[in-house]
Structure 1
Amino acid sequence: MVSLLNSSINLTLLPNASTQLGLYRHGQFRRNVIFYVRSEQVPSASNSPCQDSLARRQLLATGVTIASCFLLSRRTTSFAAETKKGFLSVTDKKDGYTFLYPFGWQEVVVEGQDKVFKDVIEPLESVSVNLIPTSKTDIRDFGPPQQIAETLIKKVLASPTQKTKLIEASEHDVDGRAYYTFEFVAQAPNYTRHALSTICIGNGKFYTLTTGSNERRWEKMKDRLKTVVDSFQIFSV
């Protein structure tokens, strides 16, 4: 069994170890790393080119039949329906992952994170994706879920000054690929964050998705956050 403490993953993550999506590092508040950007949304069926009269004429001019136009509209509708009500989807075709996040969260750029969405009013309500290279091909090569979860929480997902507690860790498979999912709390002097993470290996990368909220809002947010963490999947690129 390979210890994560002696692995290249741990050595790679620790120099950039951060908490609260990169806002804090070694107890310092980082004010210059967050930039709000416009998030992309799943196109709705109402934007189908077949429902636009000009586009319809252009399609017919190139020999596309009304039947084909109808089928295109049906496919667009089906695609939009795949996003759960109240959520938007993200698909990164370059790095090979997809997940859902609650409608209303905004995309921000955070140093050291591949993708971040957060609630601008409740900043502890967020989701982030981090990925680093690895030579391993299966998350189970690093050890059982509880062992890996405890190491990541203490060394990467929370600052050294926070008190952390692992609540639960489990393993599940999606299309033959193993994922570890765990729940934990990280207590700081002025707040406690209740979080969920899922980790997986694929495409030569170690993927970590983490979402959470302030403990005082956990009961209200937990179902939505579980939807986020359960929706995370990676695919071959």
Structure 2
Amino acid sequence: MAVSSLTFRWVSSTINNKLNLPHNNDSPRATSAFFSGETTCNEEDHCKRRPLMLGVGALTASLLNASSLFAEDVPKTYKAFVDSSDGYSYYYPSDWRDFDFRAHDSAFKDRYLQLQNVRVRFLPTDKKDIHDLGPMEEVVPNLVKKKYAAPNQIVDIFDMQERTIDGKSYYTFEYQLTSPNFSTVSFSTIAIGNGRYYTLIVGANERRWKRVRNKLKVVADSFRMLDI
């Protein structure tokens, strides 16, 4: 599936191309879209854009079809988040809400369960493809143990998958981090493109994992890099 970005032209120069679209059962005319406006930066030199709720009454079906991402139906009970300026997109559960997650570019969470969330960040890189990091069997364990886990956490990696879509490669893996007082299980998808190293993580409390695993796997598998 070839994925292309959507382009919008606005009078205000502060509006960027972040688009939050409903699943196929929602009417475009009855739904507001998220576009980024205010920008703040943390000490890691990474800018986090806070979405602004802007009504888009003129968003038509022909506009949606401008990207082949929407040629296929967004799964029921999910919405699509598209960031055409930063070059990525993914699905998230439609009842989740956006929130600020430190050093991340976008994030959504369950309304009631704080640990049930998805977040995406990216860092600059001179590498061209995820394979430039090394084989998946080496990259994933090193990443989880050295970057994702705290020193007091026990790491378990359950599954690793490599996918190539439209010539772009992705590693997706499932892992558990166990602390003395609690445990979380997550999927992560990593990819390299556009001079950026993208990371998506979607997870939940270990006690709820069996109930939500398949739901969250859809999110992890939906991540796509867009050409920018």
CA contact (8 A) 2:189 2:220 kept: yes
Equivalent residue for 1:87? Answer: 78
- CA drift of 1:180 comes to 0.7
TM-score, normalised relative to structure 1: 0.68
**Letter of the 2:27 counterpart:** A
d(CA) in 1 for partners of 2:94, 2:152: 32
**Letter of the 2:95 counterpart:** G
Equivalent residue for 2:22? Answer: 42
Equivalent residue for 1:67? Answer: none
Which runs of 5 or more residues in structure 1 are unaligned? 1-38, 49-71
Which runs of 5 or more residues in structure 2 are unaligned? 1-18, 31-58
Aligned-partner SS, 1:178: strand
Equivalent residue for 2:108? Answer: 117
d(CA) in 1 for partners of 2:225, 2:28: 29
Equivalent residue for 1:230? Answer: 221
Aligned residues: 176
CA contact (8 A) 1:45 1:76 kept: no
- CA drift of 1:100 comes to 0.4
d(CA) in 1 for partners of 2:145, 2:92: 25
Which structure 1 residue ranges, 4+ long, deviate > 2 Å from structure 2?
A: 39-46, 72-82
Structure number, greater radius of gyration: 1
**Letter of the 2:106 counterpart:** K
Q: What per-residue deviation string (whole Å, max 9, x for no partner) do you get for residues 189-215 of structure 1?
A: 221111101111000000010101111
Q: What per-residue deviation string (whole Å, max 9, x for no partner) do you get for residues 46-99 of structure 1?
A: 618xxxxxxxxxxxxxxxxxxxxxxx9654687597221101110001111000
CA contact (8 A) 1:107 1:116 kept: yes
Alpha carbons of structure 1 residues 159 and 84: separation in structure 2 relative to 1, 3 Å: same
The range that moved more, 117-126 or 195-204, is 117-126
- CA drift of 1:218 comes to 0.9
**Identity rate of aligned residues, in percent?**
36
Q: What per-residue deviation string (whole Å, max 9, x for no partner) do you get for residues 6-56 of structure 1?
A: xxxxxxxxxxxxxxxxxxxxxxxxxxxxxxxxx9443843618xxxxxxxx
TM-score, normalised relative to structure 2: 0.71
Mapped pair 1:178 → 2:178: no
**Letter of the 1:96 counterpart:** G
Mapped pair 1:202 → 2:157: no
d(CA) in 2 for partners of 1:128, 1:208: 8
Alpha carbons of structure 1 residues 111 and 46: separation in structure 2 relative to 1, 3 Å: closer
**Letter of the 1:221 counterpart:** V
Alpha carbons of structure 1 residues 178 and 119: separation in structure 2 relative to 1, 3 Å: same
Mapped pair 1:128 → 2:119: yes
CA contact (8 A) 2:22 2:94 kept: no
d(CA) in 1 for partners of 2:101, 2:108: 10
The range that moved more, 179-188 or 153-162, is 153-162
CA contact (8 A) 1:45 1:73 kept: no
The range that moved more, 85-94 or 160-169, is 160-169
d(CA) in 2 for partners of 1:120, 1:74: 29
RMSD of the TM alignment (CA)?
2.3
Give the one of 90, 111, 115 matched to 1:99. 90
d(CA) in 1 for partners of 2:99, 2:61: 33
